[in-house]
Amino acid sequence: MFYIVSMNASIDERVRSKITRISEQQGIKQREVAGTIRIMPQNLNAYMAGKRGVGKKNIARIAGAQGISEDAF
């Protein structure tokens, strides 16, 4: 069980890193991404801080908001 949690944490960290990098490159603020994908900015902040898992559904929504393929994550 620990391995699965650890593996998911590693995946989430890579996703958070890519979201941050792409947002910075495009000059998009977290608040704008949250508004585009229709979630509260606090929820996106929790994802980005590692307090909550991002989840496949939200990865797809964030990728769409950033204009990139979900596969990029």
Report yes or no on 26 lying in a domain: no
Q: What is the pLDDT of residue 56?
A: 84
Looking at the domain assignment, is residue 12 inside a domain? no
70, part of any domain = yes
Structure tokens at 68: 């990139």
Q: What is the pLDDT along the chain (73 residues), one digit of tens a residue?
A: 444 444 567 778 888 899 899 999 999 898 998 999 899 999 999 988 888 888 888 889 988 888 888 888 7
- What count of Cα atoms within 13 Å lies in the side-chain half-sphere of residue 38? 2
Asked whether residue 46 is assigned to any structural domain, the reply reads: yes
| Total structural domains within the chain | 1
Give the list of residues 6+ apart from residue 28 with CB closer than 8 angstroms, or none. 22, 65, 66
- What is the per-residue pLDDT for 27? 93
Per the domain annotation, does 56 fall within a domain? yes
pLDDT at 45: 92
Residue 44 lies in a domain: yes
pLDDT at 8: 64
Q: What is the domain range of residue 57?
A: 33-73
pLDDT value at residue 25: 93
